[in-house]
């Protein structure tokens, strides 16, 4: 990716511009479902504020003309250190739903993470030339959980991403005020017939299908069940990160679920350095929650991540223009990253991971339990 000149000079200039366009198009309750966080949305806001407090220290005289954004994520080649985050119910924002996003990701050379709660059969998401990760919710219906793991493996998924921060859904006040329920056309068809939640609020549906008792011993069961690289999504504590590595996790997603679960949780970008220090290179570290620019990707790399997951901006692109809109978002992010890397004097991703970062962080490391 060539730096500088590749960044478009026409609208949308930023991922936030794409969100503005999507907001103008979507029904307010749908916009709120995607944009919203839990509780008073302190963590949602803090995610952004924390990125802005991470100040990169550029290197000079490194002769970087073109920054190479390519890398691998969990062994999968990627055109930049970004994968599409798992998100339920894509069709709430656009009828083309998950298949459009998986095609756009494949064309952009990026992994797409299919959610347990995708609105179309999983086999429609395994795109020729694309790389599929599969996100697993730990369902009360254990047979369905096992079936989903086996199905992901059968379809050639390249990683199994177990979400560990949703024993039940955070209190999403916007959804409660709006009386939001997932429309039938976006229903999670990979759940068994009786579990698809018709007409239920999202919180009530989550409570009826997700098993909140998920624990470390279940992780051992998952580890034994599949040969796929196993990634835990939603880790914020270094001790949990170490334990996951000890139990055979191949990757972690440092994530507060985009501010949608524990309101008041630490911003992911602030949690990252301690996790990186705790586990070193024992497994791959991805990060999400609040990534909105190429500079944010660079900040995450500089603080020790191997890559990031991109969440809401993908849905904003889908809302604006289907597959083409998602492609525009991913291309813009890649161009921004190339420019930021070149300006920081980082010719490639390995160099980006060695950049310095300065910034304020309030830290109290808790006692071991
Ligand atoms: C509409 C929506 C649906 C989501 N659904 C899921 C899901 O089904 N499983 C999951 O692990 N995470 C889910 N997430 C969380 C994302 O995977 C990701 O952690 C978060 O969106 C990242 O933050 P960002 O949106 O600020 O980039 C969802 C997020 C949104 C916005
Ligand atoms: C069974 C319904 C759970 C919906 C969770 C999707 C979501 O909004 C999120 O994970 O965030």
Give 248-263 pLDDT, tens digit per residue: 999 999 999 999 999 9
**Percentage of residues of the chain with pLDDT beyond 90:** 89
Q: Which domain holds residue 253?
A: 15-358
pLDDT tens track for 118-133: 999 999 999 999 999 9
Q: Provide residues with CB under 6 Å of ligand 1.
A: 34, 85-88, 115, 117, 135, 163, 233, 255, 257-258, 288-291, 309-312
Please state the rounded mean pLDDT for residues 63-90.
97
Is residue 266 over pLDDT 50?
A: yes
Is residue 199 over pLDDT 70?
A: yes
Catalytic position from the list 90, 94, 205, 257: 257
In a domain, 1, yes or no: no
Is residue 194 over pLDDT 90?
A: no
In a domain, 364, yes or no: no
Compute the distance from residue 54 Cα to the ligand 1 centre, in Å. Answer: 23
Is residue 352 over pLDDT 90?
A: yes
Alpha-carbon distance of 308 to 141, in angstroms, equals 30
C-alpha to C-alpha distances, 181 to 85, 171, 327, nearest whole angstrom? 22, 14, 28
ipTM: 0.99
How many domains does one find in the chain?
Answer: 1
Is the Cα torsion angle 309, 302, 48, 163 positive or negative in sign?
Answer: positive
Cα 57–60–63 angle (5° rounding)? 135
What CATH number should be reported for the domain holding residue 23? 3.20.20.70
Alpha-carbon distance of 229 to 188, in angstroms, equals 24
Residue whose CA is at the smallest distance from ligand 1 atom 14: 87
| Confidence (pLDDT) at 361 | 65
| β-bridge partners, 265 | none
pLDDT tens track for 141-175: 999 999 999 999 999 999 999 999 999 999 999 99
Residue whose CA is at the smallest distance from ligand 2 atom 1: 206
Active site residue 306: no
| Burial status of residue 342 (CB atoms within 10 A of its CB: 0-12, 13-18, 19 or more) | buried
Is residue 360 over pLDDT 70?
A: no
- State how beta strands 112-114 and 76-78 pair: unpaired
Compute the distance from residue 84 Cα to the ligand 2 centre, in Å. Answer: 16
Q: Any residues with CB less than 8 A from the CB of 290 and at least 6 apart, and which?
A: 47, 48, 50, 51, 258, 259, 267, 268, 269, 296
Alpha helices in the chain (DSSP H): 15-25, 28-35, 42-53, 97-107, 142-154, 173-178, 202-209, 216-225, 238-246, 268-279, 294-302, 312-343, 349-352
Residue whose CA is at the smallest distance from ligand 1 atom 7: 87
In a domain, 365, yes or no: no
Check if the beta carbon of residue 63 is closer than 8 Å to that of residue 297: no
Alpha-carbon distance of 157 to 152, in angstroms, equals 5
DSSP symbols for 325-342: HHHHHHHHHHHHHHHHHH
In a domain, 367, yes or no: no
Q: How is residue 363 annotated by DSSP?
A: -
Compute the distance from residue 330 Cα to the ligand 1 centre, in Å. Answer: 17
- 207 in helix, strand or coil? helix
In a domain, 215, yes or no: yes
State the SS3 of 94-140: CCCHHHHHHHHHHHCCCCEEECCCCCCCHHHHCCCCCCEEEEECCEC
Tell me the two tokens of residue 288.
């999400």
Average pLDDT of the chain, as a whole number:
95
In a domain, 323, yes or no: yes
Q: Which atom of ligand 1 is nearest to the CA of 290?
A: 26
* Among 21-25, 273-277, 356-360, the least confident range: 356-360
| Confidence (pLDDT) at 8 | 75
In a domain, 285, yes or no: yes
In a domain, 217, yes or no: yes
Compute the distance from residue 33 Cα to the ligand 2 centre, in Å. Answer: 10
Question: In angstroms, what is the C-alpha Rg of the chain?
Answer: 19
Q: Which atom of ligand 2 is nearest to the CA of 206?
A: 1
| Confidence (pLDDT) at 2 | 47
């Amino acid at each position: 990716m060539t730096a500088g000149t590749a960044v478009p000079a026409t609208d949308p200039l930023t991922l936030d511009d794409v969100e503005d366009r999507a907001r103008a198009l979507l029904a307010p309750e749908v916009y709120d479902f995607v944009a919203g966080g839990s509780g008073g949305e302190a963590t949602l806001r803090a995610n952004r504020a924390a990125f802005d407090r991470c100040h990169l220290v550029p290197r000079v005289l490194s002769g970087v003309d073109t920054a190479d954004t390519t890398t691998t994520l969990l062994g999968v080649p990627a055109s930049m250190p970004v994968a599409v985050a798992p998100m339920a119910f894509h069709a709430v924002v656009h009828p083309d739903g998950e298949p459009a996003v998986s095609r756009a990701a494949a064309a952009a050379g990026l992994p797409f993470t299919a959610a347990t709660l995708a609105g179309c059969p999983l086999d429609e998401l395994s795109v020729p030339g694309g790389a599929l990760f599969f996100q697993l919710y730990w369902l009360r219906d254990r047979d369905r959980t096992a079936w989903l793991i086996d199905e992901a493996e059968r379809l050639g998924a390249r990683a199994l991403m177990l979400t560990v921060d949703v024993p039940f859904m955070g209190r999403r006040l916007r959804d409660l005020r709006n009386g939001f329920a997932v429309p039938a056309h976006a229903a999670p068809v990979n759940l068994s017939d009786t579990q698809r939640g018709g007409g239920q609020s999202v919180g009530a549906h989550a409570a009826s299908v997700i098993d909140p008792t998920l624990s470390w011993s279940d992780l051992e069961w998952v580890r034994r069940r599949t040969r796929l690289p196993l990634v835990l999504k939603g880790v914020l504590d270094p001790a949990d990160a170490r334990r996951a590595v000890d139990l055979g996790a191949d990757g972690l997603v440092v994530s507060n679920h985009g501010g949608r679960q524990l309101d008041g949780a630490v911003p992911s970008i602030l949690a990252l350095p301690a996790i990186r220090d705790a586990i070193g290179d024992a497994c791959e570290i991805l990060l999400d929650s609040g990534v909105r620019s190429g500079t944010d990707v660079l900040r995450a790399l500089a603080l020790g991540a191997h890559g990031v997951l991109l969440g809401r901006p993908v849905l904003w692109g889908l809302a604006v223009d289907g597959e083409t809109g998602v492609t525009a978002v991913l291309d813009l992010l890649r161009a921004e990253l190339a420019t930021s890397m070149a300006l920081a004097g980082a010719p490639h991703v390995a160099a980006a991971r060695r950049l310095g970062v300065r910034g304020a962080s309030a830290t109290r490391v808790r006692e071991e339990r």
